[in-house]
A and B are shown apart, each in its own frame.
Chain A
Amino acid sequence: MTIDAGRWAELYRLEFPRVYRALLAVLRDRDRALDALHDAFVAGLRRPPAHDADLAGWLFVVAVRSARRGVRLPSFSLERVRGRSGAGDIDALLDRMEVGRLLAGLTERQRAMVVAQFYLGLDHREIAAHFGVKTGTVSATLAQAKARMRAEVRNAS
């Protein structure tokens, strides 16, 4: 069934909280996460996914790819230097979380796959299909990421 614009907006709103939080965990920046998710929304309007199953995974990967394309220009809110925080508060929040600390030691690509598996609930085959890589690559990336997270847990304890 084709997804029309109205249906797309409705589905997007339903998935927004989960996908946005997944992106925050990967990108550690509110503005980048929101921009990337906006891009994914626009991409879906132009060319919606073939079906509405696993929409969160689709949105997540399109957004992650979009975030990799470039870097947002700094916003020059100089109030930040005087104590107000922008992206830094998300960093601080994530650093207070066990998951945030574990993810911080990973590369962005590893973080994306770990979050896709453990938070969005995608399996290796689905992650491979979304990211356009082989299942073996996903398995290897996740194995490396998990080894790093285990080492981090050992160090912490």
Chain B
Amino acid sequence: MLPELSIERVFRRELDDLPLPPESSWIPARVTVRRPVSLTAIVIAATLVLVLGAVSFVREAPDAAATGRRVITTPLLNAPRPMCLRGGCNVYRSDAFGYGISIPGDWRVQDSSRFGFGRSDPSLLDRVEFTSRTPEEWQLLVGVRLDLIAPWDLFVEVHDRNGFAAMDWARSDGCGRNACMVGETTVSQSPAYVASWPVTSSLRMHAYYIERGDRMLILRYVTEPGSEGPHGVTEQTLEQIVGSIALN
């Protein structure tokens, strides 16, 4: 069946049959035009990004309704007041997409959209990432791969629903291909489809799908069962944040 001595041969014979992607995709496109960059240039670029980011934040600050992308400290006026978590009350409000969510005082919004985060997904209208990590910790984890879900971060996504039901969305995400636990719950008085499935041997995806007319609101996070996240984040913390969402 698989005697010890022939294992190598069996591995080679079988794995050598696995299909390869087109050769044009072997080298990542993002580095084909990259040139060596000096440390000084990196420092200057990082400083510029910080300065521009600060200027942009100050400019955007009075216009929350237009951007819907910053953390504010006042509760929603026309939705139930979100709860305060871990001794701090930090409310993110998206007027454009009609929700408000409360994050712990030491959490922040990780704005990755400006780097092209998720643009390859045509149905995606908005994605906001909430994290307990510092910008340095987040950068260290995600690096240049901005299409990654950082475990223990919370994502709120708004999609064009394209007529698909919550269950289809969950299956498309990976629920169907993996041993998936599903259920139904209520989030801010709206019915939600809940799914949870393993994404690697140690990480597990949790997602809440809420149909809102033509749109699909998805709250998702990845945990490492049996472990604690950065800065003491637990599954309970994430569930509390999900439970704090207020929908208009």
Nearest chain B CB to A17 CB, angstrom units: 6
- B98 near A: Cβ within 8 Å? no
Complex: A98 Cα to B11 Cα, angstroms: 9
Complex: A10 Cα to B166 Cα, angstroms: 46
Whether B11 and A99, one on each chain, are in contact in the complex, defined by CB atoms closer than 8 angstroms, is yes
- B12 near A: Cβ within 8 Å? yes
Could you mark each residue 12-43 of chain B with 1 if its beta carbon is under 8 Å from any beta carbon of chain A, else 0?
A: 10111111110001111011001000000000
Nearest chain A CB to B225 CB, angstrom units: 13
Complex: A118 Cα to B30 Cα, angstroms: 33
The chain A residue sitting closest to B150, CB to CB, is A70
B21 neighbours in A (Cβ, 8 Å): 20, 30, 34
Q: Find residues 190-231 in chain B having any chain A CB closer than 8 Å to their own CB.
A: 199-203, 205, 222
Q: Find residues 97-118 in chain A having any chain B CB closer than 8 Å to their own CB.
A: 97-100, 102, 107-109, 115, 118
The chain B residue sitting closest to A82, CB to CB, is B168
Whether B7 and A118, one on each chain, are in contact in the complex, defined by CB atoms closer than 8 angstroms, is yes
Whether B203 and A42, one on each chain, are in contact in the complex, defined by CB atoms closer than 8 angstroms, is no
Whether B15 and A21, one on each chain, are in contact in the complex, defined by CB atoms closer than 8 angstroms, is yes
The chain B residue sitting closest to A16, CB to CB, is B26
The chain A residue sitting closest to B176, CB to CB, is A81
Complex: A30 Cα to B203 Cα, angstroms: 18
- A140 near B: Cβ within 8 Å? no
Could you mark each residue 167-195 of chain B with 1 if its beta carbon is under 8 Å from any beta carbon of chain A, else 0?
A: 01101111011000000000000000000
Complex: A41 Cα to B110 Cα, angstroms: 27
The chain B residue sitting closest to A30, CB to CB, is B21
Q: Beyond A41-B28, A72-B149, list 5 extra A-B contacts (CB 8 Å).
A: A20-B21, A67-B200, A69-B142, A102-B2, A119-B12
A-B contact pairs, 22 of them (CB 8 A): A12-B26, A13-B27, A21-B16, A21-B20, A67-B200, A71-B148, A71-B203, A73-B121, A76-B124, A81-B176, A88-B176, A94-B18, A97-B15, A98-B2, A99-B10, A99-B14, A107-B201, A108-B202, A118-B7, A119-B12, A121-B8, A157-B1
